[in-house]
């Protein structure tokens, strides 16, 4: 349960960080927070065997603010786990 909470907090930190970084992209002094890239496949791979079809794909957007948010939320999750006593 403890690892699940830490993973959820890391994902939430990445989402919040990316949102903050994208919103600050227009501010000249803080535009460096939106620097980053995209990893993965834009178009998923589809395999059709006539009786079975499955699609594989993964895509992730990363920027500096997202990484900072993920680290901060991971540290916050440790305090939450201790507070809940899991």
Average pLDDT over residues 37-63: 90
The number of CA neighbours under 13 Å toward the Cβ of 37 is: 3
* Tally of domains in the chain: 1
DSSP assignment letter at 30: G
38: containing domain = 2-84
Q: Is the pLDDT of residue 41 over 90?
A: no
pLDDT of 85: 81
Report pLDDT digits (tens) over 45-54.
899 998 999 9
Q: Among residues 27, 22, 54, 16, which one has the least CA distance to residue 38?
A: 22
Torsional sign, CA 10, 12, 15, 21: negative
Report pLDDT digits (tens) over 9-36.
999 999 999 999 999 988 999 999 999 9
Structure token digits, residue 69: 């948010």
| Residues 41, 35: Cα–Cα separation, whole Å | 20
* Percentage of the chain exceeding pLDDT 70: 100
| Residues 73, 70: Cα–Cα separation, whole Å | 5
């Amino acid at each position: 349960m403890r690892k699940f909470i830490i993973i959820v907090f890391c994902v939430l930190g990445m989402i919040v960080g990316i949102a903050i970084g994208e919103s600050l992209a227009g501010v000249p002094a803080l535009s460096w927070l939106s620097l980053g890239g995209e990893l993965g496949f834009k178009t998923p791979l589809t395999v059709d065997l006539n009786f079975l079809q499955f699609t594989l794909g993964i895509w992730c957007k990363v920027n500096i603010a997202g990484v900072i948010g993920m680290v901060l939320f991971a540290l916050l999750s440790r305090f939450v786990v201790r507070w809940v006593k899991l």
